[in-house]
Structure formats: C-alpha cells, structure tokens
Amino acid sequence: MGYRTLLREHRTLLSIAFLAMFTSSLGQSFFIGLFQAPISNHLNLSISQFGTGYALITLSAGFIMLHFGPSIDWVAPRRFATIVLLLLVAGIMLLTFSPWWGLGLLGLGLVRLCGQGLLTHLGNTLAAREFTHLRGRAMGLVGLGIPLGEALLPPLVAAGLIWLTWQGFWWLLAAAIALPWLWLLIKGTWPPAPGKKPSQRDTRGPKPFRERSFWLLLPLLMALPITMTGLFIYQAQLTEALDSSLAVYALALTGMGLAKLPGSLLGGRWVDKIGPVKLARYYLLPYALAMLVAMLIGGNISVWALMIGGGLATGAQEMVASGLLIKLWGAEHLGQARSALSASMVFSTGIAPAILGWILGAGITFEMIIAGMLAFIIAGWLLAQPVLKAVQKG
C-alpha cells in the first residue's frame, strides 16, 4: 500500500495527527524566535532576562511532560487534544494580554508545553500507535506538519507584521488554525481510549529511566536535536567561523525545511521495509558527513551541507525513535516511553545553549565545537549498538 492509498483510507486520522504537528509550530523555537524582540519589549525584559526565562520555562515544560505525557496511553485522544488546545489558548491569552512579565512568561511556558511538547507528542503517538503495517509511512506523512510550518510561517510573519501588531498576528493565526480543529473535534472520527489508567500499584508499565537500554539509546536519539539547537542559536558564530554569512544561512534554512520532506517520506518507506533498527544505524550519516565537510572545507557549501544533512536526518528522527520505543516496550506503552524521551530532549536542548555559550566564551573555536558534535554523534552510535543488536534479535 502506497502513500496515496494510505491517505484515501485513513484521511481523518492522518489529518488529526498532521494538524497536531503543524499546530505545534506555535510553541517551536523557530516561531517564538521571530517574536523575541516584541515579546521582550512587551514584558520589559532584557535579552539576557528573556533567554534565562526561556530556558527555565523550557526545563519546566520537560518536567510537566513527564507527568502528563503518559496519560495519552489511557485518555481518549479527542479529550486529550481538547485539553491541550484549551491550555494553548490560555497560554496565548496570557502571553499577548498580560502586562506583567510573570504571567507573560507563564503564558509562554504554556505555549511551549502545549506546542513543542504535548501536540507533537499527540501527533507522533497517534501515528505510531494506530498504524501497524504502515507505521513508517504514516509517521512520514504526519511528520511533514512541522517542516510545513517552518516553510510557511516565517514569510507569513514578515508579511503580517506590516499591517498587524504581533499580538494581532498571533490571534489571527490561532483563529485560522482553530477552524480545522473545531471541524475535526466535532465531525471527525477519533480512535477510542487506548486503555485504562493504571492503578498506583500497577507496575507493569515501562520505567525507561530505570532501564539501561534507554540510557544507552538516549545519546543517539538526542544527538541531532542537541547539536542542531546549537547551530540554530549560535548561527552568527557558526557563519563567521565557516567564512560564510547570515544571508547564506537564511537560505540554507529553507533548504533544510525542503530536505525534511524526502527525509520523512523516504524514511517512512524505509522503516516499513527494513525496520527502525536498521534505519537507526544509518539515518544520522548525512548529518555526520556534513560535519566533516564543515570541518575540512568551510565556506558557504559547509553551511548548506549542515542544514541539508540535518534536514534529511530530522525527517527520519521521529519514526526511528518511536519505532525503537515500540520495539522495546510495545505500542500500548508508547505514550509513557515517548514522554521520557521528549522530556529528556527538552531538558537537553534547554541546557545545551548555555553550555555552548560557556564554551564559546572560553575561547573554543566553532570548528572545534563541530568536531565535538561529531564525536558526540559517533559516541552515541557506538553506545546504541548493543541495544540495537538485542532488539533486532528479539
């Protein structure tokens, strides 16, 4: 069965998961970064204060994900989506209307939690859990929601802010996204609750943080988001070190978004054909080769290589991660396992910019940082091999 047949027979479920991924753009760093200056001015925060607050709310969102993320294993998806969307609206209200920085940051934290956290969690979990034979293709289609947001929203923001305030743009965008959500919530056919809430004495569910296999897989699965976060945050230092420019970097970001499309679609097909274990061994290869290009050649081509290689790997990341978690703990516990992984990624991507900032402040060149990133990827690959071999045999 190909993508066309999948769309025809499972249109509603794919639409729900895809829209969840697209809506998550409201809480993604790339979108919030477009409004960093007006939000800081609105809340009377300096750049450093905004950065500190952003890191704190991101880390807090990670802890909350650990608590609420597993509920998707027993809460009906329609109810889960309704609660998350209402919290997202509340966050937008606090962020855009509150004159006090404390409530404003609380609103931003809700937007981060519901966007990058729970909506992404909803979309990926639905696609991975509700499909069996076509899981890779389904996740590939659903995963296109995020690169679509990355491609569409920045030019819309640039055009919209000519006529609207930043608050007006947020509400106009929220209203536009709310229309398909209302239709799906009222008319759409949603899957039932996947199971019952476990009792406090029930110990059958997975405890990823207590299992050695999870910790051995974690560096491999976190290598891409951690290092890409560093390339995003310190783009000025990156382009200067590689003898490139921010204009080239901006164009390369578009190339990264486009590269995610074949990464998702081809990755989905390969997951269905060869399985997530084999793909896990190779999906970071384009990104690792791009780092070698950056270290050995430099120049504009290196910036393009990093963005294209990162885009290809990012397109396949979620289906590899979810596929491995299902292999380890089963689809019925995917929400709990994914919550642990998502929280780990939120923690690490929140701390990584601070660590990289300290390293740059200590005088370490960006070329050395890229070499360290490549070493991190290789170490993560090596650590994961025993787990991948055990899963493949099992």
What is the spatial distance between Cα 116 and Cα 328, in angstroms, rounded to a whole number? 24
What is the spatial distance between Cα 345 and Cα 339, in angstroms, rounded to a whole number? 10
- Torsion of Cα atoms, 218 then 63 then 318 then 228, to 10°: -70
Predicted local distance difference test score (pLDDT) of residue 144: 86
Encode the chain (394 residues) as per-residue pLDDT tens digits.
Answer: 566 777 777 888 899 999 999 999 998 877 887 787 888 889 888 877 887 788 788 888 888 888 888 888 888 999 999 999 999 999 999 999 988 888 999 999 999 999 888 999 899 888 888 877 777 888 888 888 888 888 888 888 888 888 999 999 999 999 999 999 999 999 888 988 776 666 555 555 677 888 899 999 999 999 998 898 888 778 888 889 999 988 888 788 888 888 888 888 888 788 878 888 889 999 999 999 999 999 999 899 999 999 999 999 988 888 888 888 888 888 777 778 888 888 888 777 777 777 887 888 888 888 899 999 999 999 999 999 999 998 877 6
Element (H, E) at 152: helix 145-160
Handedness of CA 323, 259, 239, 292 (dihedral sign): positive
Residues in the chain: 394
Other Cβ atoms within 10 Å of 349 Cβ, number? 24
| Region at 113 (left for phi over 0; alpha for psi -120 to 50; beta for the rest) | alpha
CA-closest candidate to residue 239, choices 300, 305, 307: 300
pTM passes above 0.85: no
Q: Is 359 exposed, middle or buried (0-12, 13-18, 19+ CB in 10 A)?
A: middle
Dihedrals φ, ψ of 35, to 5°? Answer: -115, 15
Predicted local distance difference test score (pLDDT) of residue 348: 79
What is the spatial distance between Cα 47 and Cα 251, in angstroms, rounded to a whole number? 25
Structure tokens of 70? 């597993």
What is the spatial distance between Cα 347 and Cα 337, in angstroms, rounded to a whole number? 16
Q: Is 362 exposed, middle or buried (0-12, 13-18, 19+ CB in 10 A)?
A: exposed
Structure tokens of 253? 């970001």
Dihedrals φ, ψ of 19, to 5°? Answer: -65, -35
- Which residues 6+ apart lie within 8 Å of 176 measured at CB? none
| Region at 275 (left for phi over 0; alpha for psi -120 to 50; beta for the rest) | left
What is the spatial distance between Cα 81 and Cα 198, in angstroms, rounded to a whole number? 20
All structural domains of the chain: 1-196 (1.20.1250.20), 206-394 (1.20.1250.20)
